[in-house]
Amino acid sequence: MARLHEVTVPDVGDKGDLSVAEVHVKPGDAVWADDTLVTVESGKAALDVPAPVDGAVVEVRVAPGEAVAAGHVVAVIEESLEQRPKSQPLRGGALPSAPPRFSLFAAFAATQSKAPAQPEEIECEMLVLGGGPGGYSAAFRAADLGMDTLLVERHAALGGVCLNVGCIPSKALLHLSAAMEEANGLAGAGIRFHPPEIDLAALRAHKDKVVGQLTGGLAGMARARKVRIVNGSGRFRDAHCLEVESAEGRQAIRFRKCIIAAGSHPIHLPFLPKDERIVDSSGALELRRRPRRMLVIGGGIVGLEMATVYSALGARLDVVEMQDCLMPGPDRDLARIWEVRNRHRFDNIMLRTRSVAAHADEEGVWVRFEGDMAPADAQRYDLILQSVGRKPNGQRLDAERAGVAVSETGFIPVNARMATNVPHIYAVGDIAGLPMLAHKAVHQGHVAAEAAAGMASRHDDSLIPGVAYTLPEVAWVGLSEDEARRQDMAVEVARFPWSASGRAIANGAEYGMTKLIFERAGGRLLGGAIAGPGAGDMIGEIALAVSRGCDAAAIGRDIHHPHPTLGETMGLAADLAHGSCTDLPPQRKSQSLRYGA
């Protein structure tokens, strides 16, 4: 009797909402094991849910846009007892037989008169696979702790996606965008500038100079620590050997301990044609053109940051998002501040809508949409940014040869010491679970190196700040108000409007807000959020206060925030919760926002 498998959404440790981004199969479809059945998305990441076995789809239990959670059944698969070609249809409910899967490599090897020469081996105590923020931080910390350290990086420069084609170049461009918009805003104060003349080549050169300065600094720090660097793509041969493939050939590296920091890659939508006008976030940072009309697919933080840059360069924007809001992550009152300040950039904000087809011609790229806010006709764009999340690289490393467990979605499960199921192999960064953030990866890299050195270091992911580096910035950490409401927790929420901040008014930022969330019973700070210029620079104080169990009196009275600053709004919000704020009209106790008994 055929065996049925209920396929569920895996638990990847994400505390945010999950929704179905795309359903790839229908009842009756034949599938291989590991074929993607559905794709779910959350925050910055999109995750494929694969088939666990060869077989046929009996039932699909979700639809695009549907909210799901870990353990939610998405499909039912009838297992095949024999392998079969994926293209062969099912007839009469029976699963057809097929010859074993053909291996091109095995066929080639069989024709050789002798086995290929084994690559030369070198040895190290600590091998770090991946040179992004998590990887180079782990390597440098391991070297500082006295380990003979070798780092494998597939690109010529250290820094990974973040430094080379992510966080740093995007922030360089966002800084220039903010400067242009701030200059335009001075007209109301009597200071007027001519419209800017934009030289794309010079702008690219500036961005590349910023990146080059930082990558050069990393190379110098690696030399100073005697960290050896091998360039190439690494795959495990066994639990103590990595094989690196590069243009120069193969290199085998034997290690006693290893930290995997191999990162993630952007998800590309299969229906989009290959065209230079369709880019991911890395391609958008190349600044090859100034589009008149641009579509952003995905309303997450990365897409909105790049939308800000291209808006400053003159593009009119459309954004399409399957969920019912843009910028998932922060509380909706904070996100609304961003929405009000940025509505002018967009011609169309299509929520509960998805792009379903596209074709390119000389005039542009034409896209069709389905959903609540879909236009009736296909729309033409000069540039399309697909920003629907990233997938971890766990399934690209032959980790099973080392005995390392890898989840169906490509994540490598780890404990608080960042150790995998193989005690001497650790994993950090994007590949070790959500959220996919560089500052999380750096902290994990330090913990992994210290744990490998025998220290009692542990990673706590409950206080990882999130920041949208948009205009204005939005930052949050710890418990959110929305989460407190969902859990029916007894909390008190204090909002301090920047319209009562002298520095914010002087800077033209009176639209901002600082919010603190306190435990009602004990008074401890549980979380907080900021919307306004510099929010990302200030959120660290809230994270520290939460980690130390501070109450409103400690934040508002024990800390003397300088005046006038935007940072003092954290003290004023604490005073508001404490009942001692004199910068706002007197508050009735009943006006405090509380949840729970």
Query: Catalytic positions, please?
Result: 563
3-class DSSP state of 164: helix
**Distance in angstroms (rounded) separating the CA atoms of residues 379 and 373:** 13
CB atoms inside a 10 Å sphere around CB 30: 20
Picking from 494, 528, 531, the residue whose alpha carbon sits closest to that of residue 509 is: 531
CB atoms inside a 10 Å sphere around CB 94: 10
**Distance in angstroms (rounded) separating the CA atoms of residues 45 and 388:** 7
The 10 Å CB-count burial string (b at 16+, else e) for 4-20 is: eeebbbbebebebbbbb
**Distance in angstroms (rounded) separating the CA atoms of residues 229 and 232:** 10
**Distance in angstroms (rounded) separating the CA atoms of residues 131 and 156:** 10
Instruction: Write the DSSP symbol of residue 298.
Output: -
User: Residue 357 phi/psi, 5° resolution?
Assistant: -160, 155
Whether the bond between 562 and the residue before it is cis, its omega within 30 degrees of 0, is no
Picking from 168, 132, 164, 229, the residue whose alpha carbon sits closest to that of residue 440 is: 132
Record the tokens describing residue 92, joined without a space: 């009469």
**Distance in angstroms (rounded) separating the CA atoms of residues 485 and 493:** 11
Location of structure tokens 């690696």: 222
The answer to whether the CB of 91 falls within 8 A of the CB of 113 is no
The answer to whether the CB of 49 falls within 8 A of the CB of 74 is yes
The answer to whether the CB of 234 falls within 8 A of the CB of 249 is no
Q: Strand ranges (DSSP E) for 372-522?
A: 379-381, 383-386, 390-392, 425-427, 466-468, 474-478, 491-497, 513-519
Q: What Å distances lie between residue 418 and 47, 197, 425, 446, 461, CA to CA?
A: 21, 49, 9, 10, 11
The answer to whether the CB of 560 falls within 8 A of the CB of 574 is no
The answer to whether the CB of 218 falls within 8 A of the CB of 164 is no
> What's the full length of the chain, in residues?
597
Q: What Å distances lie between residue 576 and 132, 428, 440, 572, 587, CA to CA?
A: 42, 40, 31, 6, 8
Instruction: Write the DSSP symbol of residue 52.
Output: S
**Distance in angstroms (rounded) separating the CA atoms of residues 588 and 597:** 19
The answer to whether the CB of 404 falls within 8 A of the CB of 425 is yes
541: Cα within 13 Å, side-chain hemisphere: 22
Picking from 29, 518, 445, 408, the residue whose alpha carbon sits closest to that of residue 258 is: 445
Helices (H) and strands (E) in the chain, counts: 14, 31
